[in-house]
Structure 1
């Protein structure tokens, strides 16, 4: 790992000491070196799709932090970016809910092109990584089993893994992390905050601010009553977040487990056979 970090740091052109960001993220390593960030992706990353995603980000600097380059270290693709100030975790009320909603609405209005977005596949990966013998894992796995099939219904360009951690300030708020950027149903970009709201974690006034700003900016995801289209993707993200919380040992997992129990009760039968 030290050799990888040193090689990533050398790509940034900075002499500052490297700092690993984000803790343990499995096959992904993010290193900050001064005002630059390098991100190493798994060796099996689809590089053709990654290049398309980087081109999209570079073409829309009003929405994305523009990439500085793509390199390879031991067959692993490494993307390089300007560093931006992340959203503070200490003041949820002061988080840029309206700004982020407007960015997503503008993203969803761009021409539909590029690879398939990665949203539902992230839920699948979280379930596969969940040891079945962990406490409450049976509840999470059962909630996943009773969900209807998840699909992207590609009709817009979407981020594919949006949450407030995918936003940084570099003069203005911009999106980061294009690893799942692509064609899909824009409702998936709203589904994680919807899941947090449904689980009782995100206060209703913050959810209303986010949703209102998305609609006011012309967002195309919600053509009917929001829960008609958000319900299943939001439930899927509840399952994903619960699985990840169990694996990482987060203390605040109980609201997500309770939400998974409600999903099982709501659907009743096994949709996955």
Structure 2
């Protein structure tokens, strides 16, 4: 049975497929429509600022302004709701389009910031990971967080939570999904996950090189056009590995173990 608020919003009477994300968002999938109830404590003004940049390489929402709806009844705070077109997502068995992903990110990074937009989501994500850390890795997380807060970052637009699950395909081609952490800061953060997984021996050299070459060929500004990118990527990559390691249930057991081992090595090197 479809929830009354959802029926009123969509004009549908068929029950959608539902999914709750790790961050607390709720997704309702219809045949041609996705309704998203954003995670609790999402700031309405900041989300609206982020949605204003959802064009070009980023999937455009059907609602340019998020709606406040009583999704949990009249006695609970309203939720922020947006509607999106249904897109094809990358299958786990498919060969990742590393070059196209890199091109999309390079296009985001070259976008001029012309209206207010919040900072990107990595510092908050890292802080949440530190709160989940076992005692042996808590100091490492606090050290990484301290280094992040001390950074003087360039103020460019970035996706803020890029990984392969954030790719969608429309009739026009691949695009980037989920702008909930989109914001201003250092675009190197969008390269953090593939960089970190490559450094942890979880991404093949050929895939990493294809991604890196594709980004440079597209004029990406996060790293030097030639030479060693690691001075720029080192801290974001280490943070990405740490965050991933604090969510072992999100990975196959061998991947989770490799991430934990990488964190232990980082902790030893920081002594």
Q: Give TM-score, length-normalised by structure 1.
A: 0.85
Counterpart in the other structure of 2:170:
170
Give the alignment of 1:79-90 within 5 angstroms. Answer: 79-90=82-93
Q: CA deviation at 1:198?
A: 1.1
Unaligned 5+ segments in structure 1 are 269-273
- 1:33-182 counterparts in 2 under 5 A? 33-57=30-54, 60=55, 62-69=56-63, 70-74=66-70, 75-91=78-94, 94-113=95-114, 114-128=117-131, 130=132, 137-147=134-144, 148-151=146-149, 153-171=153-171, 172-182=173-183
The residue that corresponds to 1:267 in the other structure is: 270
Q: What residue number does 1:256 align with?
A: 259
Structure 1 residues 9 and 206 mapped into 2: Cα distance closer, same or farther (>3 Å)? farther
Does residue 19 (structure 1) correspond to residue 23 (structure 2)? The answer is no
* Alignment match, 1:271: none
| Alpha-carbon distance between aligned partners in 2 of 1:98 and 1:175, rounded to the nearest angstrom | 14
Q: TM-score scaled to structure 2, two decimals?
A: 0.86
Structure 1 pair 112–7 and aligned structure 2 pair: CA distance change class (3 A): same
User: Which has the larger displacement, 32-41 or 100-109?
Assistant: 32-41
**Whole-angstrom CA distance in 2 between matches of 1:150 and 1:8:** 40
Q: 2:137–2:267: 8 Å Cα contact kept in structure 1?
A: no
Q: 1:138 Cα deviation (Å)?
A: 3.0
Secondary structure of the corresponding residue to residue 246 of structure 2 = helix
- Contact 2:196 / 2:238 at 8 angstroms: preserved in 1? yes
Size of the alignment, in residue pairs? Answer: 253
Cα distance change of structure 1 residues 205 and 8 upon mapping to structure 2, 3 Å threshold: farther
Higher relative contact order (CA 8 A, sep 6+): 1
> Where does residue 5 of structure 2 map in the other structure?
7
